[in-house]
């Protein structure tokens, strides 16, 4: 297998390196050793599925470190779970010199990262993402947080991991629908920042966990996000900047919120959101109907939804969009495509058009 070089993310305070495959394995072992030097302490946060299925990995890599095990799934991503992690850290004597190792997908990464950000006002953590979506998106960039019933990721903090270790073997046991959900974020990366990636995905055989090109695609996706994060680390740009990474997400988060985070995987909701963003971009004269069809065709190649499974309330979807944390001064802030491979942010108040777009994917009045 071709060597995949590490990716350095240049940040203002905490430098972060993303390691891949065999390099990641060696770097992780070294990070565990260093975390325990000088009688310091460390602990692991993971979920029940991984604790059961990856028992050998935890035993071999983490040398008997205390393990905080949480239930799997989006319903775990709450303030109560953050409190549970914090109390676990207290019980095992962790202090400001201690380290958390976070093993899991987006849910565990987001909530345990927030626990690390807030425990004793911040301790370092490392992330070992175990899903494709976490490898290419949620593990990078330092956005940590949890959901409220009113919306997704409404409570959180910027807290970058010290390093990210991408071990492709975790993907070999990932269910197909979760792998495909991660592909939604890779398709998004190509749409907003790299036409060549989008075109490569169109031309390649369907990617899978053991595909020879997968690790290169993962690194390319990580590099796209890293470049944007470096330029706008805390999403403070007046336009474009890091907000571009939310292409399709204002729509997708609304779907997740209205369905109680139980019907769609995050990447599945984002896929529908990408179609809505594409159709909005077409209505604005930015891309053509043929280009919208290309986006839909690529999503469908990975069995991703392009419309709602069942009707959802238009009123509830629009209300969820109005609570989105990216909004400014009472206006929606949406991401559109200027072309395939280039995105931009706009303020939006044309609710009749939004209603028509939602109706096209199955929402009802």
CATH of residue 30 = 3.40.50.1970
- What was the pLDDT predicted at 33? 97
- Tens of pLDDT, residue by residue over 99-140, are 999 999 999 999 999 999 999 999 999 999 999 999 999 999
User: Of the residues 125, 150, 173, which one is the last residue of a structural domain?
Assistant: 173
Q: Are residues 48 and 142 in the same domain?
A: yes
What is the pLDDT at residue 249? 96
121 domain residue, yes or no:
yes
Q: Are residues 239 and 125 in the same domain?
A: no
> Is the distance from CB of 346 to CB of 337 less than 8 angstroms?
no
Three-state secondary structure call for residue 121: helix
Our answer to whether residue 234 is catalytic in this structure is no
**Number of domains forming the structure of the chain:** 2
Query: Catalytic: which of 77, 152, 160, 225?
Result: 225
Is residue 221 situated within a structural domain? no
pLDDT of residue 237: 81
Give me the pLDDT at residue 349, please.
87
Is 249 catalytic? The answer is yes
Domain that holds residue 270: 177-205+233-360
Positive or negative torsion for Cα 124, 22, 44, 76: positive
Residue 113's pLDDT is what? 98
Q: What pLDDT score does 327 carry? A: 77
Which of 126, 151, 173 lies at the terminal end of a domain, its last residue? 173
Maximal CA-CA distance, the chain: 62
Same domain? For 149 and 183 the reply is: no
Using the predicted structure, report yes or no on whether residue 204 has a pLDDT greater than 70. yes
Pairs from 258-263 (Cβ < 8 Å, separation ≥ 24):
258/312, 258/313, 258/316, 258/317, 258/320, 259/312, 261/74, 261/75, 261/77, 261/147, 261/152, 262/74, 262/75, 263/309, 263/310
Cα separation, 206 vs 223, in Å, equals 21
Q: Given this model, what pLDDT does residue 331 score?
A: 83
Residue of 3, 13, 39, 121 with catalytic role? 121
b (16+ CB within 10 A) / e for 11-21: beeeebbbbbb
Residue 50 lies in a domain: yes
- Residue carrying the six token digits 């209205």: 258
310 inside domain: yes
Whether residue 19 is found in the same domain as residue 94: yes
For residue 191, tell me if it sits in a domain.
yes
Instruction: Provide the pLDDT for residue 255.
Output: 96
**pLDDT class of 172 with cuts at 50, 70, 90:** very high
In the chain, % of residues over pLDDT 70? 99
Catalytic residue among 74, 178, 235, 256: 235
**Mean pLDDT (whole number) for 337-347:** 96
In a domain, 103, yes or no: yes
Do 255 and 143 reside in the same domain of the chain?
no
Which tokens in the block code for residue 115? 């626990």
Alpha-carbon gap, residue 359 to 354, rounded angstroms: 9
- Are residues 24 and 68 both part of a single domain? yes
Q: Is 246 a catalytic residue?
A: yes
Each residue of 224-257: pLDDT tens digit? Answer: 999 999 999 888 887 778 999 999 999 999 999 9
242 is catalytic: yes
Catalytic residue among 77, 127, 143, 333: 143
Q: Which of 173, 189, 214 is the C-terminal boundary of a domain?
A: 173
Active-site annotation holder among 147, 180, 246, 344:
246
Residues 181 and 89 grouped into a single domain? no
Let me know if residue 215 belongs to a domain.
no
User: In Å, how far are 247, 278, 297, 332 from 308, measured between CA atoms?
Assistant: 18, 16, 16, 22
Report the phi/psi class of residue 311: left, alpha or beta, with left for phi > 0 and alpha for psi in -120 to 50. Answer: beta
For 17-43, the pLDDT digits (tens) are 999 999 999 999 999 999 999 999 999
**Contact of 295 with 258, CB cutoff 8 Å:** no
- Measured CA distances, 254 to 109, 250, 365 (Å): 21, 6, 15
For 239, phi then psi, to 5°, come to -145, 155
Q: Catalytic: 235? A: yes
CA neighbor of 319 nearest in space, from 139, 167, 71, 149 = 149
| Same-domain check for residues 45 and 91 | yes
Please state whether 7 falls in left (phi above 0), alpha (psi between -120 and 50) or beta: beta
CATH number of the domain where residue 282 is located:
1.20.1090.10
Whether 160 is a known active-site residue: answer: no
Confidence of residue 15 (pLDDT cuts 50, 70, 90): confident
For 107, the 3-state DSSP assignment is helix
Q: Please indicate whether residue 185 is annotated as part of the active site.
A: yes
Catalytic residue among 127, 266, 286, 333: 266
**Residues 237 and 344 occupy one common structural domain:** yes
pLDDT for 1: 53
For residue 329, is pLDDT > 90?
A: no
Position 32 in a domain: yes
pLDDT in tens, 248-286: 999 999 999 999 989 999 999 999 999 999 999 999 999
201 and 133, same structural domain?
no
Mean pLDDT of 10-18: 87
Query: Looking at the structure, do residues 299 and 249 belong to the same domain, yes or no?
Result: yes
Does residue 269 sit in the same domain as residue 132? Answer: no
| Residue 328 pLDDT | 75
Mean pLDDT of 168-197: 97
pLDDT for the residue numbered 85 = 98
């Amino acid at each position: 297998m071709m060597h995949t070089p590490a990716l350095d993310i240049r940040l203002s305070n905490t430098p972060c390196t993303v390691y891949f495959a065999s390099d990641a394995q060696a770097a992780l072992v070294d990070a565990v050793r260093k975390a325990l030097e000088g009688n310091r302490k460390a602990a692991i946060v993971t979920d029940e599925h991984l604790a059961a299925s990856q028992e050998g990995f935890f035993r071999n890599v983490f040398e008997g470190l205390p393990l905080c095990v949480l239930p799997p799934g989006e319903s775990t991503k709450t303030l109560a779970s953050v409190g549970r992690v914090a109390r676990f850290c207290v019980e095992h004597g962790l202090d400001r010199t201690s380290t958390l190792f976070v093993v899991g997908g987006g849910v565990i990464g987001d909530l345990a990262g927030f626990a690390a950000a807030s425990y004793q006002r911040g301790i370092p953590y490392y992330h070992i993402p175990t899903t494709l979506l976490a490898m290419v998106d949620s593990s990078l960039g330092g956005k940590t947080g949890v959901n409220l019933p009113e919306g997704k990721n409404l409570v959180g903090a910027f807290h970058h991991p010290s390093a990210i270790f991408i071990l492709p073997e975790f993907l070999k046991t990932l269910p197909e629908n979760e792998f495909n959900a991660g592909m939604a974020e890779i398709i998004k990366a190509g749409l907003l920042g790299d036409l060549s990636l989008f075109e490569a995905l169109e031309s390649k055989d369907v990617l899978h966990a053991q595909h020879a090109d997968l690790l290169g695609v993962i690194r390319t996706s990580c590099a796209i996000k890293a470049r944007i994060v470096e330029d706008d680390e805390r999403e403070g740009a007046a336009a474009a900047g890091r907000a571009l990474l939310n292409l399709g997400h204002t729509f997708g988060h609304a779907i997740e919120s209205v369905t109680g985070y139980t019907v769609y995987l995050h990447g599945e909701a984002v896929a529908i959101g990408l179609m809505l963003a594409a159709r909005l971009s077409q209505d604005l004269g930015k891309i053509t109907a043929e280009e919208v069809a290309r986006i839909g065709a690529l999503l469908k190649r990975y069995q991703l939804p392009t419309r709602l499974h069942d009707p959802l309330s238009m009123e509830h979807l629009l209300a969820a969009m109005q609570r989105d944390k990216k909004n400014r001064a009472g206006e929606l802030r949406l991401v559109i495509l200027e072309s395939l491979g280039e995105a931009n942010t706009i303020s939006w108040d044309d609710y009749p058009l939004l209603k028509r777009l939602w109706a096209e994917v199955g929402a009802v009045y």
